[in-house]
Structure 1
Amino acid sequence: MKMVQLLPRSTPENQGISSQSIERFIRSIQEKELELHSFMLVRRGHVVAESWWKPYDADKPHILFSLSKSFTSTAIGLLVQEGRITLEDRVIDFFPEYTPEDPSPNLSAMTIRDLLIMGTGHAEEPAMQSDIWVADFLKQAVEHEPGTHFVYNSAATYMLSAILQKVTGITLLDYLQPRLFEPLGIYGATWESCPQGINTGGWGLKLKTEDIAKFGQLYLQKGVWEGQRLIPEAWIEEATSKQISNGPADSSSDWTEGYGYQFWMCRHGAYRGDGAFGQFCVVFPEQDAVIAITSGLGDMQAVLNEIWEHLQPAMGSDALPVDTGAEASLTRMLQELKLDPPIEEAVSPIEKDVSGIVYDLEENEEKLRSFSVRFEEDGAVMELEGEHSINLVVCGRNEWKSGTTKLMMTADNEYAASMTWKDDRTLKLTIRLTETPFYSTTECSFGEEGIHLAYWMNQSFEGKVVREIKGKVKA
C-alpha cells in the first residue's frame, strides 16, 4: 500500500508568525467575498495553517489550470539534466513531419528555451484547431524574433510536453511519476491529453492542496527532498529568476515583474506558479515559506494583495511566545470555514404539482433534450438528458449533497449540490464541481405548460454568460 507522506505540522508561533496575522488574512478574505476553496501556509518546512472551505476538502484534487506549467517546466529541467535535450535545441528539429516545407527564419530559430520563457515570437497564442496540435502550432506565423517578445502562450507549454513525449516515448505525467511525484509522496495525479494522447502541459493537471505545497517546498529547498536531490539547484535558480520582461513594472501588479521558466516573478522577492481562477503556489525564499491556494476567483490579484498585507510582513526570524488563546481562535476559525448553500425560507406551493414532470427542451447549444426534477423531503433529484447520457444530480435542501456527474465536464467530477425556491414559481439549483473552480446556478421557472431555464457559471474565460432554454411538458 502506498503511504501518502504529509508535511510536518506546527503552530504558527513556533515558526515565527502570529496566529492573529493569519486570522486577519482569513477574515479579510471572507469580508471581501474572495472565494477560496483551500489554503495552506508552510513556514520553515511545517504546515502552520490549513483549511478547506466545505464542501471542498483535503482529499479532493483540484484542477490547477496554468499552475500545471510549473510542473511541465520541472520535467524539462530533468530532461536537460539527463542529457537528452538542451535549451538551445530547435523546436522544428523534433517534428520534421509537421514542419512547413519552407519554415520562416523566426520559426526556424525558435528553441526550447523560447518555449519556456513564453518568448516564441508569436504575436498571439496559436490556436489548436485540428486533432494534431503540433502541426497547428508550427503553422502559426512567428512575427517577432524568438526570445525578444513575451506573449502568454499555453500552446508553447504544450509543445514542451510534446517534445518530452517525442524524446522519451512516454507522457509527461508518466515521466514525472518516478522522478517527482513518488519521491514527494504525491499519488493520484491526473493530466488531460490532446487528441493524440500528449498531456496538455500548459493546463489539465489535477493535484491536492498539500501536493501543491510540497512542490513549492521542494523548490524552496533548492530541489532537495529528505536528503535526496530531485531537481538540479542550478535549474531552480534559472527557472525562478527573471528570464524575460513581461511588461513595464507596475507597483500594484504581480503580473509585470518578469517571467522565468514557467514561473511568475512577484513583488516582495517571491515567485509563483499560478492558474486561472486562483490556483496558487507562492514561494517566499526570504521568509522560508510557501502558500498553496485553490479557489474560484475572478480577481487573482486581490488575494495576492491580501497575502502581501497580512502574511508576508508578519513572518519574523524568531519563534514567538506561545499564545494559546490566539492559536485556539485561529484553529476554530479554520475548522468552521464553509461555503453555505442558499437557504430556503419557504417551500413553494407548486412543488408537488411539478415534481417528476418531464419537459422536452427546445434545441440548444448543449444539446440537452429533457429536464425534470423530483422533490423529496430533504431535497430534490434533477434529471437532465443530454445527447449521449442522462445526468442525475441530487440536491440537498438547505445543505449540500454530493455525488459524481459528467454535467458541464467531459469526465466524471465530484459535485456538491443544493436547491432552494427563489419564489413560488422559480426553483434555484446550485451545483459545485468540487474538483474545479466552477459552480453553476440554474433558475427554473415553471409555467402552466412549460419551463424556462436560465443558467450560468460563477467563472468563465468569456465572463458571465447567461444561457436560456425553454421546454414544454412531454407529451
Structure 2
Amino acid sequence: MTLNRRIFLHQLGLGVAGLGLIGSLPASLQAAPLRAVRLPRSLPEAQGVSSEGLLDFVNAIEAGKLNVHSMMVVRHGQVVAEGWWAPYAPELKHTLYSLSKSFTSSAIGLAVAEKKLTVDDKIVSFFPQDVPATVSPNLAAMRVKDLLMMATGHDKDSTGALRADSDKNWVKAFLAQPVEHEPGTFFVYNSGATYMLSAIIQKITGQTVLEYLKPRLFDPLGIEGADWETDPKGINTGGWGLRVRTEDIAKFGQLYLQKGMWNGKRLLPEAWIEDATKFEIQSKGGSRPKEENDWLQGYGYQFWRCRNNAFRGDGAYGQYCIVIPEKDTVIAITSETSDMQGILDQVWKHILPGIQQGAIATKSTVPLKPKLASLALPLPAGQASSPTAAKVSGKPYQISDNSLNIKRVSLAFQNGSCVCTLQDDQGEHRVVCGLGRWAEGSTDLSTVPLKLVPTSVPKETKTKIAGSGAWSDENTFTMTWRFIETAHYENVTCRFDGDNLQLEFRKSLAVLSNSKDPRPALEGKLMAAVSQGK
C-alpha cells in the first residue's frame, strides 16, 4: 500500500502549499545526494510564470479529457507548479514509452565522451557474429548516427520483426531486415533503431543501459529506483520500457537545459547536448500543416524539435519532457491520451504566454493552489451499493472454459470495499476496489495484456494498482483497475443474472481506440447452483 498522496506531500514539503520550502534550505543541504535533494520549489509569479496561465492549462486538459496523470513546470531551475491526478502520486514511477529513447541517446553521448565509440562507427562492426551472410551496401554503411536520428534506411519500423524473431535474437533480426534507402537520407520512426543503441552500449561496456546510466546520470540527478524492460536476452529495450518518476523527467530536462551541467559538475558534453537537440533530419508525423504540427519540426538524436524553438523527448500516449531554452523552462507530463498534439497545444496556448522575463505581481485570487492539491481522475460512475451486493458477496462462480484460463471468480463486499478474486492456472489473484474512492495496493496480475509492447520488467512479480468500483445498475458492478506505475487501466464489468455471471474486460487502449478488447467475455455460474445440478 502506498502512502496517502496528501500525507506524502505534507511530509516532504512537495505540495503547492509547501512551495518555496526547499528553496529556503541551506545550500549545503540542497547539495546532498539522491533523495535528500530534489528540485527547489518557488511560487510561480516569483519566477515570472503566471498562475492564471497554469490554471488555464489544467482546466483545458481536464475539459478536453486528455487523461493527464501528472505535470511539473520548472522555471529558472525552480518547480513552480506540480500536480498528480489521483490515484497517480509523486512517489510512483510511470512508464515512459518512447521518452525512454532520449535516455538511451544520453548513454551514447556518455560513451562517446568516454571514447568508447563514435557516431560514425558502423553498426555491423559491433556485431560481426550476427550479420547476415550477405551484407548489403546500405547495411554496411549504417552508422551509430543513423540509428540516433532515425535514418537507418529502413522503409518501416523494425520493432515488430524483432519481437517476432523465433530465435529471440533481436540484434540478428534487426541486421537481417532489408535496408531499402541509403542510411542518413530517409527518416522513419524506428524503435528497433533505439534498441540497437541499447545493444551497442551493452556490447561495448558489458552493462545494460540502465546499469551504465546509474552512476553517470541517475545517481548525480538523484533518480532512484528506475527500471527498464528487456528483450529475451536481457538487453534493455532502449526505445521504450524505462520507468522513472515525474520529477526525474523534469530533472533530466533541466540537465539538458543546463547544457549538461548539474550542481557545478559536467555530466554530458555541451557539444553532445547541442547535436542531440538540434535539427538533424526532417521528421514525419501528425496530420496538420507544418506550422501547427509539433511532429514536423525536425528530429535530432532521439529528441524531437518543437514549435517555439523548443525540443522534447516524448512517448506514446503523452509522456513528455519539454525543454524551452528561450524561456529557461522545463515541463514534464505523464498521461494516457489519444491526442498527444492536444496536450502540446495547451502548453503553447496557456503556459508559454504566461512566462515573463521578470517576476510578476502575485494574484492571490487565482485558485491554482487548491486546484493542484485536489486533482483526481474520475471514479467509475454509479452507486456504492445495490441489493445484489449482499446476494452475491463472497460467493464463488465457476467460469466456463476460456482462453484466459480463468476458472473461478468471486466478489466480496465489506467495509466500503470490494475484493475481486480471480483464480486461474497460476493461482489466485486479488484486487481490492474502493467504493466511491480509490483503494491502493499491489497485484500479481500481469500488465502485459494492457500494454502497447508486450515486454516486461525483469523479476517484477507484483504491480502497484489502485481500484475503484460502482454499481452502474442494480445488477451490474463495474470496476476500474489502474496500474499506477504504467499509463494504463482496465475496466472490468460484472453482470449478475440469477445464478449467472458475465464478466468482461476492456483495457484502456481499447477504450482510446474505441475498439473491442481482444479478450473473451467470461460466462460463470454460481458454484452452489452447479453442485445442485442447476
Percent same amino acid at aligned positions? 48
**Structure 2 equivalent of residue 387 of structure 1:** 425
Q: CA deviation at 1:300?
A: 0.8
**Structure 1 equivalent of residue 110 of structure 2:** 78
Amino acid at match of 1:405: T
Q: 1:169 to 1:463 in 2, by over 3 A?
A: farther
- State the alpha-carbon separation in 2 of the partners of residues 298 and 457 from structure 1: 14
1:406 and 2:408 are equivalent in the alignment: no
Moved more, 97-106 or 277-286: 97-106
Alignment map for 1:421-436 (pairs within 5 Å): 421-436=471-486
**Structure 1 equivalent of residue 12 of structure 2:** none
Look up the SS of the partner of 1:135 in the other structure.
helix
Look up the SS of the partner of 2:487 in the other structure.
coil
- What do the CA deviations read for 1:374-422 (whole angstroms, capped 9, x no partner)? 1113121001123323210011111110111132415422111011111
- State the alpha-carbon separation in 2 of the partners of residues 321 and 425 from structure 1: 55
Q: CA deviation at 1:2?
A: 5.2
| Matching residue within 276, 279, 286 for 1:242 | 279
TM-score by length of structure 1 reads 0.96
Alignment map for 1:356-367 (pairs within 5 Å): 356-367=394-405
**Structure 1 equivalent of residue 14 of structure 2:** none
Do 2:294 and 2:307's aligned partners in 1 also have CA atoms closer than 8 Å?
yes
Q: CA deviation at 1:435?
A: 0.9
Do 2:34 and 2:223's aligned partners in 1 also have CA atoms closer than 8 Å?
no
- State the alpha-carbon separation in 2 of the partners of residues 170 and 295 from structure 1: 31
- State the alpha-carbon separation in 1 of the partners of residues 261 and 216 from structure 2: 12
Look up the SS of the partner of 1:251 in the other structure.
helix
Q: CA deviation at 1:216?
A: 0.2
**Structure 2 equivalent of residue 339 of structure 1:** 377
Look up the SS of the partner of 1:142 in the other structure.
coil
1:217 and 2:249 are equivalent in the alignment: no
Do 1:277 and 1:459's aligned partners in 2 also have CA atoms closer than 8 Å?
no
- Larger helix proportion of the pair: 2
- What do the CA deviations read for 1:238-285 (whole angstroms, capped 9, x no partner)? 100111111396222111111110001111111100111111000001
Amino acid at match of 2:40: P
Moved more, 216-225 or 342-351: 342-351
**Structure 2 equivalent of residue 291 of structure 1:** 331
- What do the CA deviations read for 1:347-399 (whole angstroms, capped 9, x no partner)? 22222222222223334343333221111131210011233232100111111
TM-score by length of structure 2 reads 0.86
Q: CA deviation at 1:463?
A: 5.7
Q: Which runs of 5+ in 1 are unaligned?
A: none
Look up the SS of the partner of 1:14 in the other structure.
helix
Count of aligned residue pairs for this structure pair = 473
1:93 and 2:135 are equivalent in the alignment: no
Look up the SS of the partner of 2:406 in the other structure.
coil
**Structure 1 equivalent of residue 151 of structure 2:** 119
Q: Which runs of 5+ in 2 are unaligned?
A: 1-32, 449-459
- What do the CA deviations read for 1:122-161 (whole angstroms, capped 9, x no partner)? 1112222232111111111111111111111111101100
Alignment map for 1:19-418 (pairs within 5 Å): 19-126=51-158, 127-128=161-162, 129-130=164-165, 131-247=168-284, 250-326=290-366, 329-345=367-383, 347-409=385-447, 411=460, 412-418=462-468
- State the alpha-carbon separation in 1 of the partners of residues 342 and 90 from structure 2: 24
- State the alpha-carbon separation in 2 of the partners of residues 399 and 157 from structure 1: 40
Q: CA deviation at 1:346?
A: 5.9
**Structure 2 equivalent of residue 464 of structure 1:** 515
Q: CA deviation at 1:339?
A: 1.5
Do 2:384 and 2:435's aligned partners in 1 also have CA atoms closer than 8 Å?
no
Q: CA deviation at 1:4?
A: 3.9
- State the alpha-carbon separation in 1 of the partners of residues 513 and 177 from structure 2: 24
Do 2:382 and 2:473's aligned partners in 1 also have CA atoms closer than 8 Å?
no
- State the alpha-carbon separation in 2 of the partners of residues 90 and 457 from structure 1: 42
Q: CA deviation at 1:462?
A: 6.6
Moved more, 406-415 or 122-131: 406-415
Amino acid at match of 1:414: K
Look up the SS of the partner of 2:466 in the other structure.
strand
